[in-house]
């Protein structure tokens, strides 16, 4: 404790005592956070080039989203848990267990699908509560609890299914997992691009306008409170680039078969969870717990309850993913969701979450997940071997975290 | 025989911005027990770290001569090789290993890499007999109390053929019986020719065991004297002997009615539930008054404060809290905050701040509910509040979005204070509010404390620095070994009188 420089009653070498701190030049262009978007762009460019443009074809874009949606749903829950300084290895098994639970209710017992869906979400919540109890209140490291959960809930899956797949699912569930929004309006002609669903395009335009307006309002708010803001060119780039990308995606999808329902669901989840992490008291508490547990405790944050509810949340999202996955395959199988936890964890870390906790963003995790999704999909188009895909994904994960560590050391050195 | 075993001369050790040791000279005679005394932060531990090679040769100036030969230790292994062993205040035993394994850790009784367990355990049993510890060598250390662990540390030192044994606050965590046993053991070792340097705050122990005393103050050696020519008073005078300079803002307190009364407050150690860290403490805090709490390290100051603040430390807590005349319950931090109690920690980096977040989120951390409606934080309001604090507390940072980890100590402390002031407390407990910050920032913190008192808050300042307490407090409590041993008005207090009360032992306290 007495590593001596603490007691400033000693003779202080003549320094700039009380002089204003050297104002570090605030660079709003956050390399770390932007790095991930650049990485996604690079991944897309590379695979577009390698596949001769097939990657961005309307049907393929739709495939990437539908095929990877459940990982993205899991990544949202996972990044929150990682921000709080924990981990969840059981999500793959919980996906399988909740898919099985839903299948038994809908297929074997013929329960109406809305009731079955709600019951499955409750099932996921209970699973999360079970793990949350052991982690938060009993004090077992999440790594152990969820490693056990990985086995426990896989076993539960086998028991529920009796070692065989159950299907087929009702049409509504299949539509949710695999289907598209119906064309409420007629197709419109987009010149050389051919016909596209007018409704989808309108929704896309609304979303894009919404995004830009929100960013503008945030900027205006900062200006009003005399906070520093990005220069106008950077702001416009940051606002318009994503807008163009979203619009491109929507138009491509509209040219194919309208918007996939899971994309709508994902968009809603991303919006809600981004809001929660940025603006809600609960969101703040997640960062506080992960950033400095003791300081959070001594600031009156009920840290145990925060961690508990994070695991409940993860359970619910796992159930969502479980329903989507089973509905997509039209079958709840005992091996469903194998190694999903690894993809979800990788997505969160590639997306900039810190292993020590306290850092991470929902949008980052989604971006990280998309990087993996594009790699998976592009590799599939190119007919790569499984081991090549694994190798590339492993290398990307390592590189992303190495970059994170490096950039942190660099900022620390510049103190 | 006065043959000198160790001579340290002209030792100067500088940390960035601070001279921890300045031209220190220390001479230890073979076969004596030398006590090194000084206030917290006087440089005692630093000196011992220089000696034992924790700070390797080259990171300090000056010379060390051991048994007549110059020494340049590159690490603790070198010093141990020469027979200098230091036992730190925080014991460094591997708690899951056995006593024998700990004693011979890094020094295993082995042939060609294979440990001879029989020889190990036999040798350990032998050493345990020497230190008078009645335990089996195969007992895991985790099953031992702190007192016995201390003896294991000494046995470990003996296994290395120690010539000079350095003990940093060896009895700080021990009860009276264990302390007595340890001191007897040290006398026995002296008779066997082992030289001891003991760092202690407990002056009666110093008087009882040592042959000579060296005083360190502000990183300098003040004097060394034979015990026969000394008294506790003389040691105290040496430890504090400096005058109050004009480092404190003028302040006249307007003292109002009582806000918080702490009655019969007793707290036990979470690791040793039968050991009381705070015993039947009674304190009264009043509106607009700045009250000090003085005590040496290990006296129970932080334990007292944190246990009052929502029982965030300790077990088996008993006693009553009376706020505005009514008994209150503060079973957790949230309840304490709701009752208008705030506690700014002594260790802001570990317990006070989220260093990877920005100023505004740290400022709002404890009072977030005031900025939220229906669970949603009003971001603009939060920014506004943080900006107001940045202005009023003079936090030097380019914006409230600067990351707190990059601020200087003084500015970090202002963020901690802002956080607690934002909860609008009636009682503010400030634990070492100026630790590790420079003189200019200290003055600012004192001014802030005065302003808070003027606003009618009751303030309790815990500090190791007596001049600070005398400079800013209206009334000062002294704490020694978990008991309140005195309550003095600023007018009637001197550093010497406080130090006397702070080192007063339990049995001298009137019941």
pLDDT category at B246 given cuts 50, 70, 90 is: low
Residue B193: is it exposed, middle or buried by C-beta count within 10 angstroms (0-12/13-18/19+)?
exposed
pTM value is 0.79
CA separation for the pair A22, A10 (Å, rounded): 24
Check whether A415 has a pLDDT greater than 50: no
Residues 6 or more apart whose Cβ sits within 8 Å of residue A218: none
| Inside any domain, residue A20 | no
pLDDT category at A372 given cuts 50, 70, 90 is: very high
pLDDT category at B454 given cuts 50, 70, 90 is: very high
Residue whose token pair is 């810190």: A354
CATH 3.40.50.300 segments of chain B? 1-83+163-242, 254-340+425-511
pLDDT category at A5 given cuts 50, 70, 90 is: very low
Check whether B17 has a pLDDT greater than 60: no
| Inside any domain, residue A307 | yes
For A245, the domain range is 184-259
List % helix, strand, coil for chain B (3-state, nearest 5).
35, 30, 35
How is residue A245 written in tokens? 């990308």
Q: Do A299 and B419 count as a contact with CB atoms less than 8 A apart? A: yes
Note whether A97 and A211 are same-domain residues: no
User: Quick check: B161 and B153 in contact, CB under 8 A?
Assistant: no
pLDDT digits (tens, 9 = 90+) for B406-419: 888 888 999 999 99
How is residue A224 written in tokens? 């009003």
Output B258 or B443, whichever has higher pLDDT.
B258
Note whether A135 and A277 are same-domain residues: yes
Closest CA to A40 of A68, A66, A59: A68
Contacts of B365 in chain A (CB under 8 A): 284, 288, 295-296, 299, 301
Check whether B153 has a pLDDT greater than 70: yes
Note whether A235 and A114 are same-domain residues: no
| Inside any domain, residue A19 | no
Any CB–CB contact under 8 A between B339 and chain A? no
CA separation for the pair B154, B169 (Å, rounded): 13
User: Quick check: A368 and A401 in contact, CB under 8 A?
Assistant: no
Position A292 scores a pLDDT of 93
Contacts of B219 in chain A (CB under 8 A): 4, 10-11
Instruction: Spell out the alpha helix ranges (H) of B202-309.
Output: 203-209, 232-240, 301-308
Check whether B301 has a pLDDT greater than 70: yes
pLDDT digits (tens, 9 = 90+) for A314-326: 999 999 999 999 9
Any CB–CB contact under 8 A between B93 and chain A? no
Mean pLDDT along residues B10-37: 87
Note whether A301 and A168 are same-domain residues: yes
Note whether A149 and A276 are same-domain residues: yes
Position A315 scores a pLDDT of 97
| Helix, strand or coil, per DSSP, at residue B265 | strand
Check whether A17 has a pLDDT greater than 50: no
Residue whose token pair is 């874009």: A61
* CA distances in angstroms from A364 to A22, A56, A65, A349, listed in the order given: 31, 21, 16, 9
Note whether A137 and A44 are same-domain residues: yes
Note whether A114 and A255 are same-domain residues: no
Note whether A357 and A338 are same-domain residues: yes
Position A365 scores a pLDDT of 95
Q: How far is A157 from chain B (nearest CA, A)?
A: 37
| Inside any domain, residue A4 | no
User: Quick check: A122 and A103 in contact, CB under 8 A?
Assistant: no
* CA distances in angstroms from B195 to A12, B54, B155, listed in the order given: 35, 20, 15
Count how many residues are written for chain A.
415
pLDDT above 90 covers a percentage of chain B that reads: 47
pLDDT digits (tens, 9 = 90+) for A130-160: 999 999 999 999 999 999 999 999 999 999 9
Q: In what order do the strands lie in the sheet with B84-87?
A: B84-87, B164-168, B195-199, B33-37, B212-217, B220-226
Position A256 scores a pLDDT of 79
Superfamily of domain B1-83+163-242: P-loop containing nucleotide triphosphate hydrolases (3.40.50.300)
Mean pLDDT along residues A286-315: 95
Number of domains in chain A: 2
Note whether A134 and A280 are same-domain residues: yes
Q: How many CB atoms lie within 10 A of CB A398?
A: 12
CB pairs under 8 A between A and B: 186
Check whether B171 has a pLDDT greater than 50: yes
Q: Do B17 and A18 count as a contact with CB atoms less than 8 A apart? A: no
User: Where among A231, A259, A287 does a domain terminate?
Assistant: A259
Q: Do A13 and B467 count as a contact with CB atoms less than 8 A apart? A: no
In the CATH scheme, what is the code of domain B254-340+425-511?
3.40.50.300
Note whether A238 and A337 are same-domain residues: no
User: Where among A240, A259, A278 does a domain terminate?
Assistant: A259
Note whether A122 and A205 are same-domain residues: no
pLDDT digits (tens, 9 = 90+) for A233-243: 888 888 888 88
Note whether A222 and A284 are same-domain residues: no
CA separation for the pair B295, A49 (Å, rounded): 72
Contacts of A227 in chain B (CB under 8 A): 383, 399-401
User: Where among A212, A232, A259 does a domain terminate?
Assistant: A259
Check whether B132 has a pLDDT greater than 50: yes
| Inside any domain, residue A280 | yes
């Amino acid at each position: 404790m007495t590593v001596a420089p603490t007691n400033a009653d000693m003779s202080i070498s003549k320094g700039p005592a009380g002089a204003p701190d050297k104002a570090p030049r605030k660079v709003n262009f956050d390399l770390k956070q932007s790095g991930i978007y650049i990485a996604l762009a690079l991944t897309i460019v590379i695979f577009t080039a390698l596949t001769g443009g097939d990657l961005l074809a309307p049907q393929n874009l739709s495939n990437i989203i539908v095929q990877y949606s459940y990982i993205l749903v899991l990544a949202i829950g996972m990044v929150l848990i990682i921000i709080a300084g924990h981990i969840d290895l059981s999500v793959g098994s919980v996906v399988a267990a909740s898919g099985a639970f839903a299948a038994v209710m809908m297929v074997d017992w013929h329960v109406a699908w809305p009731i079955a869906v709600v019951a499955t979400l409750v099932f996921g919540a209970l699973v999360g509560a079970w793990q949350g109890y052991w982690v938060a209140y009993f004090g077992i490291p999440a790594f152990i609890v969820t490693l056990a959960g990985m086995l426990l809930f896989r076993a539960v899956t086998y028991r529920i299914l009796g070692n065989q797949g159950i299907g087929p699912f009702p049409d509504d569930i299949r539509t949710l997992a695999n289907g598209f929004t119906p064309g409420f309006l007629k197709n419109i002609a987009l010149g050389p691009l051919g016909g596209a669903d007018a409704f989808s395009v309108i929704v896309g335009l609304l979303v894009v306008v919404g995004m830009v307006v929100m960013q503008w309002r945030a900027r205006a708010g900062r200006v009003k409170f005399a906070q520093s803001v990005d220069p106008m060119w950077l702001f416009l780039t940051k606002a318009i680039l994503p807008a163009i990308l979203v619009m491109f995606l929507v138009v491509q999808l509209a040219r194919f078969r309208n918007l996939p329902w899971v994309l709508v669901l994902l968009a809603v989840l991303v919006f809600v969870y981004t809001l929660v992490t940025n603006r809600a008291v609960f969101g703040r508490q997640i960062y506080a717990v992960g950033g400095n547990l003791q300081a959070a405790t001594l600031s009156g944050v009920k840290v145990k309850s925060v961690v508990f509810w994070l695991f409940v949340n993860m359970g619910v999202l796992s159930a969502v993913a479980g329903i989507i996955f089973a509905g997509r395959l039209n079958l709840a199988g005992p091996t469903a969701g194998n190694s999903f936890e690894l993809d979800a964890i990788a997505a969160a870390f590639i997306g900039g979450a810190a292993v020590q906790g306290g850092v991470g963003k929902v949008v980052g995790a989604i971006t990280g997940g998309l990087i993996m999704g594009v790699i998976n999909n592009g590799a599939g188009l190119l007919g790569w071997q499984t081991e090549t895909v694994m190798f590339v994904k492993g290398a990307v994960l390592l590189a992303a975290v190495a970059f994170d560590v490096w950039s942190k050391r660099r900022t620390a050195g510049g103190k | 025989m006065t043959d000198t075993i160790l001579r340290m001369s002209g030792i100067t050790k500088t940390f960035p911005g601070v001279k921890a040791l300045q031209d220190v000279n220390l001479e230890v005679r073979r076969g004596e027990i030398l006590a090194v005394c000084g206030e917290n932060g006087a440089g005692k531990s630093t000196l011992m770290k220089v000696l034992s090679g924790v700070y390797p040769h080259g990171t300090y100036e000056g010379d060390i001569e051991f048994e007549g030969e110059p020494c340049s230790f590159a690490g603790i292994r070198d010093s141990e090789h020469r027979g200098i062993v230091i036992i730190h205040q925080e014991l460094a035993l591997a708690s899951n290993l056995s006593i024998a394994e700990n004693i011979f850790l890094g020094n295993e009784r082995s042939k060609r890499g294979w440990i001879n367990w029989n020889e190990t355990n036999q040798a350990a049993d032998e050493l345990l007999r020497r230190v008078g510890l009645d335990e089996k060598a195969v007992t895991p250390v985790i099953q031992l109390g702190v007192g016995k662990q201390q003896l294991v540390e000494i046995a470990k030192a003996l296994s290395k053929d120690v010539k000079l044994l350095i003990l940093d606050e060896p009895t700080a965590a021990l009860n009276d019986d264990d302390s007595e046993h340890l001191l007897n053991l040290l006398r026995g070792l002296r008779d066997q020719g082992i030289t001891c340097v003991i760092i202690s705050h407990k002056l009666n122990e110093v008087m009882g065991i040592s042959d000579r005393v060296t005083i360190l103050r502000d990183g300098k050696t003040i004097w060394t004297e034979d015990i026969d020519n000394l008294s506790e008073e003389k040691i105290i005078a040496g430890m504090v002997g400096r005058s109050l300079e004009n480092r404190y803002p003028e302040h006249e307190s307007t003292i109002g009615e009582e806000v918080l009364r702490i009655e019969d407050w007793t707290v036990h150690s979470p690791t040793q539930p039968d050991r009381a860290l705070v015993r039947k403490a009674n304190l009264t805090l009043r509106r607009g008054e700045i009250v000090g709490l003085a005590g040496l390290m290990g006296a129970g100051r932080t334990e007292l404060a944190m246990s009052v603040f929502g029982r965030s430390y300790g077990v088996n807590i008993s006693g009553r809290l009376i706020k505005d005349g009514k008994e209150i319950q503060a079973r957790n931090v949230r309840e304490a905050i709701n009752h208008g109690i705030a506690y700014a920690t002594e260790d802001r980096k570990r317990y006070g701040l989220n260093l990877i977040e920005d100023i505004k989120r740290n400022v709002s951390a404890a009072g977030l509910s005031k900025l939220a409606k229906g669970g949603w934080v009003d971001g603009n309001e939060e920014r506004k509040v943080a900006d107001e604090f940045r202005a009023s507390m003079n936090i030097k940072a380019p914006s409230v979005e600067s990351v707190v980890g990059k601020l200087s100590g003084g500015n970090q402390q202002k963020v901690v204070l802002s956080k607690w002031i934002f909860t609008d407390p009636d009682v503010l407990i400030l634990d070492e509010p100026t630790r590790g910050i420079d003189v200019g920032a200290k003055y600012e913190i004192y001014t802030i404390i005065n302003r808070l008192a003027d606003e009618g808050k009751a303030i309790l300042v815990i500090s190791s620095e007596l001049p600070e307490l005398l400079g800013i407090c209206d009334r000062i409590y002294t704490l020694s070994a978990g008991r309140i041993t005195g309550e003095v008005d600023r007018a009637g207090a001197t550093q010497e009188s406080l130090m006397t009360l702070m080192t007063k032992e339990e049995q001298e306290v009137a019941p």
